[in-house]
A and B are shown apart, each in its own frame.
Chain A
């Protein structure tokens, strides 16, 4: 296992386009949904990278490509130097042991016709080399204990558990192969408020215990801030800003990040009428036909001619300490999202 701080995941120029086809027998491509369009970042062991953005920004597609559930159109996803996006067969299977995921919906992510023991033990059935056969029940029970469930419940079915407990079952399944990276795709957004904190605490405890690296995808910005070391803000398939949590939350440089942060309601009524709020107009454009140049320019109050002609690259810009993709980036403390 990599030591803490060592880069274990390198994503470079990742692109995923879903072709839009016409015709039934002889398909003709008439366009493409540019779900992920040139995303690069690194992840160190034991680190959490938060990914925020609104629906349609490509964050879920990014998760699928990282998990090799979708083949990228181009670009690479290197885990410990090996590209999972190009791996096949036995090599891919072996690489999967190192990257696992926790899904959003605790109801559909567990097979309703399998017992908890079968669900959590399935990783061992697939990767038979990880645990000797006689050892599996004990291993499953250990895993259930680690995530705070009663190990005697291995013979129960998912419907006999609440949403929060099911999410713990999903986490136990993700831990079984002792991966170094776990991709969490909205792991708490389907849970009741009073249960969310329990699951977040569990994820943090597991991270410390097993030195896990998380890609934490969520739309709840305050949860992302709590758990993340670094944060990437996505808009229409691109990362528009990437930096440490304090940099993104206290000194956002990209207008979209600023609007996103200012839109989050603050759970404190004091001074609510004085609070600065940037209300964006309209909806995000379609990822099938994104605007030229900067993709945010159609909703941006700073947009100039250059924004339509020249695409701003994700880089450190004057006056800022972290990467942002805006020609007119300037830090601006919008509002403190707790």
Chain B
């Protein structure tokens, strides 16, 4: 008998309360009437719900601004930092002034313009690595968790091998080996992805294994559901939340990791610009001139925050209990 959660029934965090609140003859209809025509589904309801979340709108606006900044930087600044003439060594580490609101860096270049132009490389590396690790690690984790047996043993052993590689050393090795491949910053994306997917894999696999033991999976099997349906309709939606959280948190880590690689001389290299490179360049003189480090770091934090907010909003929208 469902008697144990007696105390829990009065706490809103427990599912029982929610069912109690629905016990009344005519509970409030949570979905709007106009949707009656089209049957609801998790993704449609989630989208409907997302559009009403201020946090989602806000993070989306932030991300949109960052993307515009990455691809059309000249909309934000008239100074082109790739043009050596805009830098004056004599004004190195000058504080903010009328034409240079963020001041100048070690080489006398405009920090504001460099921050704007640096967005592109940093955001591409952060977003692309996140997407690749989430897809590769997530799909393999889903597969390993669903199928179990040899698939699981094999993939799990492979991830353990990757876990054993010290990440910076591994990334250094990969980028250094393929630096002449002519694919630019994508070599950084590949290096970081290769080393980071096992993390997503493990989280997805664990979440899938938890979901797999629930009765609704058995019920679907009893109905004759195939493996693809069980994986994508039943297990994935119930295992996605922790992956989204970790992926969005990792996004900031990837941008920072790019900085470390740049610092070691294998990532984005001068004269190209990235936030990581800017931070690496500015930190030796941080005490005399903090601004050349503070501004790219600030933009990095805002980017990470925007994606974390986006991830949180999506995760909550995918949980019907939180709507």
Contacts and interface: CB of A to CB of B under 8 A. Distances in A.
Indicate if A touches B (C-beta under 8 A).
Answer: yes
Interface string B289-310: 0000000000000000000000
B2 A103 contact: no
Interface string B306-323: 000000000000111100
A113 B19 contact: no
A162 interface: yes
Contact of A103 (B30, B215, B224, B229): B215
Nearest to A124: B223
Contacts, number: 121
A159 B215 contact: no
Contact of B222 (A69, A163, A189): A69
Interface string A107-127: 111111111011000110111
Contacts of A64: 218
B23 A115 contact: no
Nearest to A183: B222
A104 B214 CA distance: 12
B41 A126 contact: no
A67 B222 contact: yes
Nearest to B40: A155
Contact of A114 (B214, B215, B222, B233): B233
Contact of B36 (A155, A157, A165, A190): A155
A113 B319 contact: yes
A126 B225 contact: yes
A126 B229 contact: yes
A154 interface: yes
Nearest to B225: A126
Given A69-B222, A100-B222, A161-B22, A108 B320 contact: no
Contacts of B223: 96, 100, 122-123, 126-127, 173, 177
A160 interface: yes
Contact of A93 (B39, B224, B234): B224
A156 interface: yes
Contacts of A109: 214-216, 218-219
Given A112-B321, A156-B30, A117 B218 contact: no
A203 to B, nearest CB: 17
A111 B238 contact: yes
A83 interface: no
Contacts of A117: 39-40
A110 B39 contact: no
A268 interface: no
Interface string A191-203: 1110000000000
B1 interface: yes
B86 interface: no
B186 to A, nearest CB: 35
Nearest to A68: B222
B164 interface: no
By DSSP majority rule, is chain B's interface helix, strand, loop, or mixed? helix
A250 interface: no
A64 to B, nearest CB: 8
B1 A103 contact: no
A91 B219 CA distance: 19
A78 to B, nearest CB: 18
Task: Bin the interface of chain A by size.
Answer: 35 or more
A73 interface: no
A217 interface: no
Given A126-B224, A189-B1, A115 B40 contact: yes
Contacts of A114: 41-42, 233-234, 237
Residue among A122, A137, A166, A191 facing the most chain B CB atoms (10 A cut-off)? A122
B318 A113 contact: yes
Interface residues of B, number: 39
A226 to B, nearest CB: 18
A105 B213 CA distance: 13
B319 to A, nearest CB: 7
B11 to A, nearest CB: 15
Nearest to A93: B224
B270 interface: no
Nearest to A185: B215
Contact of A113 (B20, B222, B225, B320): B320
Contacts of A103: 215, 218-219
Contact of B18 (A125, A154, A160): A160
A186 B318 CA distance: 31
Given A103-B218, A115-B45, A159 B238 contact: no
Nearest to A158: B320
A92 interface: yes
Nearest to A114: B42
B35 interface: yes
Nearest to B320: A157
Contacts of B226: 126
Contact of B15 (A97, A107, A115, A191): A107
Interface in B1-36: 1-2, 15, 18-20, 22-23, 27, 30-31, 35-36
Given A103-B218, A113-B319, A190-B2, A159 B15 contact: yes
Contact of A160 (B27, B215, B216): B27
Contact of B320 (A127, A159, A162, A166): A159
A159 B224 contact: no
20 contacts: A64-B218, A67-B222, A69-B221, A101-B222, A108-B214, A108-B216, A111-B216, A111-B238, A112-B320, A113-B318, A114-B234, A115-B42, A118-B41, A126-B224, A126-B225, A152-B36, A156-B30, A157-B320, A159-B320, A191-B2
Given A115-B41, A122-B223, A154-B39, 8 more contacts: A100-B223, A101-B219, A109-B215, A117-B40, A125-B229, A159-B19, A173-B223, A192-B1
